[in-house]
């Protein structure tokens, strides 16, 4: 059975606002793909077609854009996508151990999704948190820094209960140590 995807009146109003930020009709593709992914959880072929129709663009163009950028999920993913950074600073700080620990805990490998559809794991490139390594990001959202196995346990427990970890504000070191 195939799902039909549609934008609501509110979505269409939001899309009009997005269109107003750009001088031509091609440019809003990326923000509208983001809006669609936030709503449907992915931008599979059908969602891409919907975006193309809504923006009056050739489907091939939207497909070209969606496939170029790694953050757009071209197929359905787990409810929580765990992106573990394994780029060089994180690698140096034990990211692969963390990645393998998460793989063991969830019983899947990077690139896979659990049978219950709850978790996917990906090994990704630098997320811009190199000084707080090792780290991961959940479903293009919150960053979890300074990972240890214990911290990973806490995060996974939360996610199993559908709770999202909170945003971690990392103090600027010169502020906390500044002399008055």
Partner 1 sequence: MLQDWKNYQPLLIPNIPNLHRMDVYEKNGGYEQLKKVLTDSEYSPEKVTNIVKDANIRGRGGAGFSAGLKWSFMPKPDGGPRYIAANGDESEPGTFKDRQIFEYNPHLFIEGAIIAGYAMSITAVYVYIRGEYRDWINMMQKAVDDAYAKGYLGKNILGTDFSIDMYVHSGAGAYICGEESSLMESLEGKRGYPRVKPPFPAQKGLWGRPTTINNIETLANVPLVIKNGSAWYKAIGAETHPGPVLYGISGHINKPGIYEYPTGMLVSDLINEVCGGVRGGKKVKALIPGGSSTPPLRGDQLEGVRMDADSLRTAGSMMGTAGMLILDEDTDMVDFLWRVSLFYHHESCGQCTPCRDGTGFLEKTLIKIKNGEGEMRDLDLLLDLCTQMEGRTICALADAAAWPVRYTVTRFREDFEKRVKNTVYALA
117-136 residues near ligand FES, rule: CB under 6 A: 126-130, 133, 135
Considering the rule CB under 8 A, would residue 82 count as an interface residue with partner 1?
no
135 binds, among ligand FES, partner 1, none (CB under 5 to 8 A by kind): ligand FES
108-137 residues near partner 1, rule: CB under 8 A: 125-133, 137
Residues constituting the chain? 180
At residue 143, what are phi and psi to the nearest 5 degrees?
A: -95, 135
Name the helix (H) or strand (E) containing 31.
helix 29-40
Considering the rule CB under 8 A, would residue 41 count as an interface residue with partner 1?
no
Name the helix (H) or strand (E) containing 176.
helix 173-177
Considering the complex, what minimum distance in angstroms separates the CB of residue 176 from partner 1? 9
Are the beta carbons of 122 and 84 closer than 8 angstroms? yes
- The token pair at 62 is 């939207």
16-35 residues near partner 1, rule: CB under 8 A: 21-24, 26-31, 33-34
Considering the complex, what minimum distance in angstroms separates the CB of residue 96 from partner 1? 9
The CA distances from residue 70 to 41, 63, 104, in Å, are: 14, 13, 25
Give the span between the Cα atoms of 106 and 155, in whole angstroms: 12
Binding site for partner 1 (CB under 8 A): 21-24, 26-31, 33-34, 61, 64-65, 68-72, 86-89, 91-93, 125-133, 137, 140-143, 167, 169-170, 172-175, 178
């Amino acid at each position: 059975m195939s799902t039909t995807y549609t934008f609501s009146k509110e979505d269409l109003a939001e899309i009009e606002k997005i269109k107003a930020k750009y001088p031509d009709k091609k440019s809003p593709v990326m923000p509208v793909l983001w809006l669609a992914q936030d709503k449907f959880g992915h931008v599979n072929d059908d969602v891409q077609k919907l975006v193309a129709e809504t923006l009056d663009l050739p489907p091939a163009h939207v497909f070209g854009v969606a496939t170029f950028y790694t953050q757009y999920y071209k197929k359905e993913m787990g409810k929580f996508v765990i992106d573990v950074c394994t780029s060089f600073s994180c690698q140096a700080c034990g990211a692969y151990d963390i990645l393998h620990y998460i793989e063991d805990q969830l019983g899947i490998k990077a690139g896979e999704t659990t049978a219950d559809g709850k978790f996917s794991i990906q090994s990704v490139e630098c997320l811009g948190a190199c000084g707080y390594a090792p780290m991961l990001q959940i479903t293009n959202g919150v960053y979890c820094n300074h990972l240890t196995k214990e911290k990973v346990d806490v995060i996974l427990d939360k996610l199993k209960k559908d709770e999202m970890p909170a945003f971690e504000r990392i103090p600027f070191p010169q502020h906390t140590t500044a002399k008055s």
